[in-house]
Amino acid sequence: MVTGKEDLLRSLIEAFLMEKGTHEFYSKAATKALSEDARATFRDLTEWEEKHMDYIQSLYLSIQDDRDVEHFEEFKKRAEAPVTEGGIPVKDLESKVEESVFLDDMGALIMALEIEGKAYNLYRNLSEKAADGNARVVFREMMGMELSHIDYLKKLRNKLAETA
């Protein structure tokens, strides 16, 4: 788990793995949700996490002067990502899916808000602790991305509450 004490490259790898874990969870949740709106929300979140992974990968490769493309692609395929970006173990979230805790629209939004809120707090904490100035910048950028997800999810939640 990333602590903020890592150098920039290690921070990028750790952030990538958390994004990958979140991506994998949202992808599975999209297939398990009962309502089309909940499935669509999780599909949107899956796409956003993929964009985060692409962003981190591009930063990593630019630092490496694109010398490590093949290695990173192999890493991307093989790397296990047991923790989400919010620090929540993927297996814990998957057990909630299996228990059908959140398969309705509001439950899906509440779970996604929890994940994204924890991710925002993690990146905020890391940006404050990062010893590497460049890593601080990356973590702040990730905070901004998570905040946009939170805003989107809150608007969806409010819209859903109005129609209920």
**What is the percent of the chain where pLDDT is above 70?**
89
What DSSP designation does 101 have? S
Q: What are phi and psi of 89, to 5 degrees?
A: -60, 135
Confidence of residue 122 (pLDDT cuts 50, 70, 90): confident
Which one of 3.30.870.10, 3.30.300.30, 1.20.1090.10, 1.20.1260.10 gives the CATH number of domain 8-163?
1.20.1260.10
Give yes or no for residue 51 having a pLDDT over 90: yes
User: Rounded to whole angstroms, how far apart are CA atoms 84 and 121?
Assistant: 13
Structure tokens at 13: 């790898």
Q: CB neighbours (10 Å) of residue 68?
A: 15
Give yes or no for residue 133 having a pLDDT over 90: no
Q: CB neighbours (10 Å) of residue 105?
A: 22
The residue-averaged pLDDT of 138-149 equals: 92
User: Rounded to whole angstroms, how far apart are CA atoms 2 and 10?
Assistant: 8
Contacts of residue 146, Cβ cutoff 8 Å, sequence gap at least 6: 85, 116, 119, 120, 123
Q: How does pLDDT run across 64-98, given as a tens digit for each residue?
A: 776 667 788 888 888 888 888 777 788 887 777 66
**What is the percent of the chain where pLDDT is above 90?**
21
* 92 or 124, greater pLDDT: 124
Contacts of residue 71, Cβ cutoff 8 Å, sequence gap at least 6: none
Confidence of residue 103 (pLDDT cuts 50, 70, 90): low
The residue-averaged pLDDT of 95-110 equals: 70
Confidence of residue 99 (pLDDT cuts 50, 70, 90): low
The residue-averaged pLDDT of 41-54 equals: 92
State the burial class of residue 163 (Cβ atoms within 10 Å of its Cβ: 0-12, 13-18, 19+).
exposed
Confidence of residue 52 (pLDDT cuts 50, 70, 90): very high
The residue-averaged pLDDT of 41-70 equals: 86
